[in-house]
Amino acid sequence: MRELEVEVPAWIAIRAEAFDRLVLRERPWPRTPEEAVAFQEEVRTLDLPQEFRAELSEALEEAGLRGKLLAVRSSAAQEDGASASFAGQFDSVLGVRVGEDGAALWDAVRQVWASAFSARAAIYSQQHLDAQEQEGVRMAVILQEMVDAAVSGVAFSADPVSGSREVAVVSAVYGLGEGLVGGDLNADSYRIAFTGDAPGSVQREIVWKEHAYRLLPEGGTALEGVPVPLWDLPALTDEEATRIADAARRLADALGAPQDLEWALEAVGPAGPLPRPLPRVRGRGEFSGARSVAPQHVVPTPSPGIGGEVASPSEPERGRSSGASPSFGEYHPPRRLLILQARPITTLSPEARPNAAPMPRAEGGERRIWDNSNIIESYSGVTTPLTFSFARGVYEDVYLQFCRLMGVSEKLLTEHRHVFAGMLGLIHGRVYYNLLNWYRVLALLPGYSVNREFMERMMGVREKLADPPRTPPVAGRWEDTRRLARMAGRLLREQRRLRREVPAFHARVQAALAPVAGKDLGTRPAEELVALYRRLEGSLLRHWRAPLVNDFFAMIFFGLLVRLIEKWLPDTPPTLANDLLCGEGRIISTEPARRVMELARRVKEDPVLADLFAGETDDAALWRRLAAEPEFRFFHRKLDAYLKRFGDRCMEELKLETVTLAEDPSFLLQMIRAYAAQEIPGADSAPVREAEIRRAAEATVRGHLGGVRRRLFQLVLQQARQRVRDRENLRFERTRVFAVVRRIFLGLGGHLAARGQLDTPRDVFYLTVEEVFAHFSGTGATSDLRPLVALRRAEFEEYARMPAPPDRFETLGPPAEIPESPEPTPAAGGDLKGMGCCPGLVRAPVRIVRDPRQAGDLAGHILVAERTDPGWTLLFPAIRGLLVQRGSLLSHSAIVAREMGIPCIVAVPQLLDTLHDGEVVEMDGATGVIRRAPPSSGPAGPHPPAPSPKEGEGEHCR
């Protein structure tokens, strides 16, 4: 690296030949664990020859390292190879003082050598190396000057998860990087987009950083408290993060492979790296994880106060420093960047390919970026051809409608018709956004740069594009201005009309669906079913004006609300935008849970019903008894009323192949049985909690804004509330329309099965919409559909067995071979961070749920899920908090959690790979922080069932 003019702290190396000569001494590598332990013990007490000591002392003197604090690092020949990185398998010793007798240094060298014979290194070798490579480790040792770093971390020249070479990733902690590598400290994360060599946008994930590892003057390291004002400030400026990322990319270019760097920023001004004095909260000995070891120091904990142990801020202060706190820039002088070491990212190919995951590239093929962001909430897992073909057509039609509405010329729409037809893709049976086409559609509208950011927030896109599609050229500046003016006029007109348009749309849906409500469409002639579909298509699907315009304004006004808070209210709680949307009421998505709780209450209060639900565990038999026996007739009517209203609101409700509650009410009966058998504390107090959150947020705004600013803010807030509420309610109308479409195709499937052209009515889901209608119109390419269905069924069943593709990846040309999702790399410890959606501090055990029908007892638990959809809301009354791996601030789960007063955090990376079922965590719905027990508190692996929460634990609170 020095040859490349990279600034590296002074270092020397003890070559692997010294290990061979002094440790192995021509003896065979140990074959058994007992032999390895014997070698370790021998090495730890090895008498180093005087000649070796003298030679090493002379080298230290020449390098200017005598009297310095050193990092004594392992550097085995097998480390960072193509097949194995050996990360964390060997010991390193930090903060070693080179004294006159050199005793500490000799001990450190022996310890690093001894780690070559550890059981963990042997197991790792067996798992990652072939038999010949396992013959032994040749261990060199690096002696490098320690840097008393203000900030340290790691940097990847390419995204280590997706493989994208267009994004560099930087992680940073205060002080030494020891806690970051070990996984027991929280780290800020920076994603820096590059176009060629030019850096672009910087995305930051800033976490609480309450502690830092610091270098002790006498040697070793200690964990120290960080001053409260620094806890939630970024450890790096965007300029520093970009400088580090650029260094990583330049090294990768020079070395011919993507690089993983360890770096440090050292203060070069008069001030120290961090404000002093820092309270030392505990010493540092050997710890697990990266196996870094320091000479042990026991540092007494001083009394609380400014110079003592840092006290936690009160809950309203968490997540954002107070307005009186100095800015981050006032805390540190200029800092210089040092690269401690670099290694290849062993999980990536060295080829400099810019695609987001390793993919075969067709010559001249079109570049596509596939991203499932929030569409996974609507179409999770494998989706059948019928559903995809229907959804793809709907997306094409409705966004063409929207662009016409916004004044886009027919000429432009015709030129871009293929873009609208390709907004969705089906990859290994899973639905993805064709992301570049979404940007291309948005680029047809004026205000592209602003709308693009709002769309990304609304869709939950986690990685912004470094080179998004450009706006189509227009005929000069004045034409562009006229387009923008016309667009503004149309928007104002449409915004005024929404007050009438939304109720009118609800009425039109009701009028279109009322004639078939409760009717058995399976008995209708096929021609009548086809005609019914065409009527729905003409009267509703191609007249989707109100939902489209409302969705657009929900995106705009929520985005403006967030922007105004960032600009005018920077020192307020980070969930202020969400808090202001709480307690809106009249959101239909909360109604199913409320009605189920009411049905459960009736069961609990009626001894006969309670005995029936408790004793009859066969749901089909229970339903028959409720329908047949006179004493249960009243309750059955209540159930029937629920199913008529919400029988199509279920898990995966937009997938046509889904079996709904109206078809099989078993899940409804299970939820009623579960809620009737338990007490759900606070279930009736949700509106009160919502109102309190809303009032507190409104008081915050009144306390900070006045005059014109307050009036403008209130106008934006009023529109954001109304548009988000109407968005959720209009989506229920979409569910109702899709439910009738489902019944139509099941009816057509019944006709095909009756004719012997399908084996069962449900086989219709393996055909496309066009294939079904072509068969009935006489334009189909084949009359016997059974072989086609059998082929597709086998293909899609194979997709269901295969690992899902990554959440985001890139292709050139036809997406033939799809990359597998990268192996999860769960954190070894430390906290998790997502988007706080509903405030509240909850400490409770987590329950990881992958299928709501198998959720079990959720009472008193925090529900953890990869994603949710409207059907999950029946689980919400029992839970104390909600953690979701996917999603955005406008996700269904976030909106419903706000309305039900349930603390909620979404968009938590690697959530399901990190938490264990039953593990007790503390979640803060305001800051998005999820606190875990430290790694030293117990062995890794599944946690035992958590005890019942103590008094005060698991309660929702501000």
CATH code, domain with 878 = 3.50.30.10
State residue 120's pLDDT score.
63
Q: How far is CA 434 from CA 42, 403, 415, 803, in A?
A: 61, 18, 18, 20
How much of the chain, in percent, has pLDDT values that exceed 90?
38
pLDDT tens for each residue of 635-652 = 999 999 999 999 999 889
Whether the pLDDT of residue 386 is over 60: the answer is yes
Indicate whether 240 and 97 sit together in one domain. Answer: no
| 481 occurs within a structural domain | yes
Across residues 748-757, what is the average pLDDT?
95
How confident is residue 535, by pLDDT bands cut at 50, 70 and 90? Answer: very high
Indicate whether 688 and 714 sit together in one domain. Answer: no
CATH, residue 262: 3.30.470.20
Structure tokens at 492: 């104002």
Whether the pLDDT of residue 388 is over 80: the answer is yes
Indicate whether 231 and 336 sit together in one domain. Answer: yes
Kind of pairing, strands 367-371 and 430-434? Answer: antiparallel
How confident is residue 75, by pLDDT bands cut at 50, 70 and 90? Answer: confident
Bigger pLDDT: 776 or 451?
Answer: 776
Structure tokens at 470: 């450009």
Structure tokens at 139: 């261990």
Indicate whether 112 and 218 sit together in one domain. Answer: no
| 19 occurs within a structural domain | yes
Domain boundary among 125, 145, 165: 145
Bigger pLDDT: 67 or 788?
Answer: 788
pLDDT tens for each residue of 389-409 = 999 999 999 889 888 888 888
Bigger pLDDT: 65 or 6?
Answer: 65
Q: Sheet containing 11-14: give its strands across.
A: 11-14, 139-145, 69-76, 92-97, 292-293
Question: Where do we find the tokens 């990279």?
Answer: 6
State residue 940's pLDDT score.
35
Residue 17's closest CA among 112, 141, 131? 141
Indicate whether 525 and 416 sit together in one domain. Answer: yes
How confident is residue 355, by pLDDT bands cut at 50, 70 and 90? Answer: very low
Structure tokens at 201: 């946008």
Q: Are 468 and 835 in contact (CB under 8 A)?
A: no
436 three-state secondary structure: helix
Indicate whether 620 and 767 sit together in one domain. Answer: no
Indicate whether 452 and 559 sit together in one domain. Answer: yes
How confident is residue 822, by pLDDT bands cut at 50, 70 and 90? Answer: low
pLDDT tens for each residue of 650-668 = 889 999 999 999 999 999 9
Q: How far is CA 897 from the centre of its chain?
A: 18
State residue 857's pLDDT score.
85
DSSP string, 667-719: HHHHHHHHHHTS--TTTT-HHHHHHHHHHHHHHHHHHH--HHHHHHHHHHHHH
Indicate whether 157 and 132 sit together in one domain. Answer: no
**Which residue range forms the structural domain that includes residue 491?**
367-569+705-801
Residue type, 264: A
- Report d(CA 215, CA 193) in Å as an integer: 33
| 906 occurs within a structural domain | yes
State residue 323's pLDDT score.
32
Structure tokens at 724: 């988000």
Mean pLDDT for the chain? Answer: 80
State residue 361's pLDDT score.
43
Q: Which helix (H) or strand (E) holds 484?
A: helix 476-513
Domain boundary among 78, 112, 145: 145
How confident is residue 318, by pLDDT bands cut at 50, 70 and 90? Answer: very low
93 three-state secondary structure: strand
Indicate whether 543 and 664 sit together in one domain. Answer: no
Is omega for the bond preceding 277 within 30 degrees of 0, making it cis?
Answer: yes
Q: Are 451 and 440 in contact (CB under 8 A)?
A: no
Give me the number of domains the chain comprises.
5
Whether the pLDDT of residue 735 is over 90: the answer is yes
How confident is residue 78, by pLDDT bands cut at 50, 70 and 90? Answer: low
- Report d(CA 168, CA 156) in Å as an integer: 6
Q: C-alpha dihedral over 209, 214, 220, 222, to 10 degrees?
A: -50
Structure tokens at 514: 């009322």
Across residues 668-692, what is the average pLDDT?
80
State residue 600's pLDDT score.
93
User: Of the given ranges (89-93, 708-712, 912-916), which has the lowest mean pLDDT?
Assistant: 89-93
Indicate whether 420 and 542 sit together in one domain. Answer: yes
Question: Where do we find the tokens 């899902």?
Answer: 804
Q: Are 616 and 628 in contact (CB under 8 A)?
A: no
Q: How far is CA 637 from the centre of its chain?
A: 42
Q: How far is CA 864 from the centre of its chain?
A: 12
How confident is residue 901, by pLDDT bands cut at 50, 70 and 90? Answer: confident
User: Of the given ranges (89-103, 118-132, 240-254, 640-654), which has the lowest mean pLDDT?
Assistant: 118-132
Q: Are 653 and 380 in contact (CB under 8 A)?
A: no
How confident is residue 336, by pLDDT bands cut at 50, 70 and 90? Answer: confident
809 three-state secondary structure: strand
How confident is residue 311, by pLDDT bands cut at 50, 70 and 90? Answer: very low
| 258 occurs within a structural domain | yes
Bigger pLDDT: 468 or 949?
Answer: 468
**End-to-end CA distance of the chain, in Å?**
51
Structure tokens at 192: 């820096």
DSSP string, 824-846: P---SSS-EE-EEEE--EEEEEE
CB burial of residue 917 (10 Å; 0-12, 13-18, 19+): middle
How much of the chain, in percent, has pLDDT values that exceed 70?
78
| 943 occurs within a structural domain | no
> At a CB cut-off of 8 Å and minimum separation 6, what does 743 contact?
516, 521, 522
Across residues 801-809, what is the average pLDDT?
87
Whether the pLDDT of residue 680 is over 70: the answer is no
Across residues 194-217, what is the average pLDDT?
85
User: Of the given ranges (82-86, 212-216, 404-408, 587-591), which has the lowest mean pLDDT?
Assistant: 82-86
Degrees, nearest 5: CA angle 729-730-735 = 95
DSSP summary character for residue 203? E
DSSP summary character for residue 327? P
Q: Which helix (H) or strand (E) holds 863?
A: strand 862-865
H-type helices in 569-685, by residue range?
Answer: 576-581, 591-605, 607-615, 619-628, 633-646, 666-676
Indicate whether 178 and 327 sit together in one domain. Answer: yes
User: Of the given ranges (184-193, 269-278, 582-591, 807-816), which has the lowest mean pLDDT?
Assistant: 269-278
Structure tokens at 316: 């309203």
How confident is residue 255, by pLDDT bands cut at 50, 70 and 90? Answer: confident
Whether the pLDDT of residue 772 is over 80: the answer is yes
| 896 occurs within a structural domain | yes
- Report d(CA 753, CA 750) in Å as an integer: 5
Q: Are 726 and 585 in contact (CB under 8 A)?
A: no
pLDDT tens for each residue of 737-752 = 999 999 999 999 999 9
Residue type, 741: V
Structure tokens at 329: 């820039």
Whether the pLDDT of residue 239 is over 60: the answer is yes
User: Of the given ranges (255-264, 345-354, 516-525, 548-557), which has the lowest mean pLDDT?
Assistant: 345-354
How confident is residue 684, by pLDDT bands cut at 50, 70 and 90? Answer: low
State residue 330's pLDDT score.
39
Q: Are 379 and 761 in contact (CB under 8 A)?
A: no
Whether the pLDDT of residue 767 is over 90: the answer is yes
| 687 occurs within a structural domain | yes
Across residues 720-749, what is the average pLDDT?
94
Bigger pLDDT: 693 or 77?
Answer: 693
User: Of the given ranges (195-199, 344-348, 623-627), which has the lowest mean pLDDT?
Assistant: 344-348
- Report d(CA 446, CA 481) in Å as an integer: 9
Bigger pLDDT: 727 or 374?
Answer: 727
Structure tokens at 661: 């509650």
State residue 34's pLDDT score.
75
Q: Are 822 and 806 in contact (CB under 8 A)?
A: yes
State residue 276's pLDDT score.
38
Whether the pLDDT of residue 359 is over 50: the answer is no
How confident is residue 958, by pLDDT bands cut at 50, 70 and 90? Answer: very low
State residue 582's pLDDT score.
83
Bigger pLDDT: 948 or 301?
Answer: 948
State residue 941's pLDDT score.
36
Indicate whether 417 and 543 sit together in one domain. Answer: yes
State residue 718's pLDDT score.
94
916 three-state secondary structure: coil
How confident is residue 572, by pLDDT bands cut at 50, 70 and 90? Answer: confident
Bridge partners, 864 (sequence order): 848, 883
Structure tokens at 821: 């999702």
Residue 460's closest CA among 837, 72, 944, 83? 837
State residue 357's pLDDT score.
39
CATH, residue 12: 3.30.1490.20
State residue 771's pLDDT score.
96
| 528 occurs within a structural domain | yes
Across residues 125-145, what is the average pLDDT?
67
